[in-house]
Amino acid sequence: MADSIPAAPLEPPVPVEVSPAPEPIAAIPAAQLEVPAPAEVPAAPVIGAEAKPEPQPYWNSYKAGAVLGLVLLAAFVFTGRGLGASGAVTRMAAYSLQKVEASLHGGTSAEADTLAKNNTYTGQYLKGPADPLDDFLVYMLVGVVVGGFLSGVLARRASFEVVHGPHSNIGRRLALAGLGGVLSAFGARLARGCTSGQALTGGATLALGSWVFMLAVFAGGYAIAWFVRKEWI
């Protein structure tokens, strides 16, 4: 049959036996999915550091997941609490707001009557006698920084760089990273936690709301991912 002979590939050829899935992924030229990129399309431009030894490969996902599960289980057994990240950052933001505002209005004497202290939400951290940063999750977050740094350095993955997709650029990547940060913060506060405190910890304790949150995160992520696909594929 004449039409079974492929013509010059003006368009990406679609094999007859494979029904083309109408997913956005189907439109991607195959080569772009491969990680190693040619020199003119650097996958990850490294600022500063030029020649450095190859980073070690990441752990197998199931091994990493099992170890993470054991860390979480240890948290339950030793402390009766789970893992968290956004709670500590929230306390730091409340604390910073308070400090910045007080310094703008004349030092520590102004700390008693700030917007942060009078704010319904941040007031819960700032009104009492307790130091807002003297909290389980804040100490944990300090550990996360140390642990992440240790792992990154030992595996030769620590370097100043902007991670972006092969067809994106530094400006677009940073703009979207900032926007993503704003949205994540708002969502995490509404939901009372993030991927660690809700999805992971709440998921393992079988908390109803945490499972609702986790499924909503995947739904929201897949709903928007198509619109920003050019950033990564």
Chain residues 172-231 in contact with other proteins, contact rule CB under 8 A: 173-174, 176-225, 228-229, 231
CB 93 within 8 A of CB 52: no
Give the residue, chosen from 53, 62, 112, 128, that forms a contact with other proteins under the rule CB under 8 A. Answer: 62
Asked if 126 is part of the footprint of other proteins (rule: CB under 8 A), the reply reads: no
- Work out whether 171 is an interface residue with other proteins (CB under 8 A): no
As a whole number of angstroms, the distance between CA 15 and CA 154 comes to 45
Q: Which is nearer to other proteins, 19 or 109 (CB)?
A: 19
22 binds other proteins (CB under 8 A): no
For position 108 contacting other proteins by CB under 8 A, the verdict is no
Any residues with CB less than 8 A from the CB of 194 and at least 6 apart, and which?
84, 85, 86, 184, 188
Give the shortest CB-39-to-other proteins separation in angstroms.
18
In the block, residue with structure tokens 């926007």: 179
User: How far is the C-alpha of 196 from the C-alpha of 51, rounded, in Å?
Assistant: 35
Rule CB under 8 A: is residue 104 a binding residue for other proteins?
A: no
CB of 3 to other proteins, least distance (A): 19
d(CA 11, CA 68): 45
Q: Which is nearer to other proteins, 111 or 187 (CB)?
A: 187
Q: Does 148 bind other proteins (CB under 8 A)?
A: yes
| Residue closer to other proteins, measured from CB, 47 or 110 | 47
**Structure tokens of 122?**
């941040």
Contact present, 197 and 84 (Cβ < 8 Å) = yes
- Among 59, 99, 133, 167, which residue sits at the site for other proteins (rule: CB under 8 A)? 59
Amino acid letter for position 217: V
Give which of 28, 24, 39 is closest to 233, Cα–Cα.
Answer: 28
Find the binding residues for other proteins in span 26-55 (CB under 8 A).
26, 30-31, 33-34, 43-44, 47
- Binding residues for other proteins, rule CB under 8 A, total 135
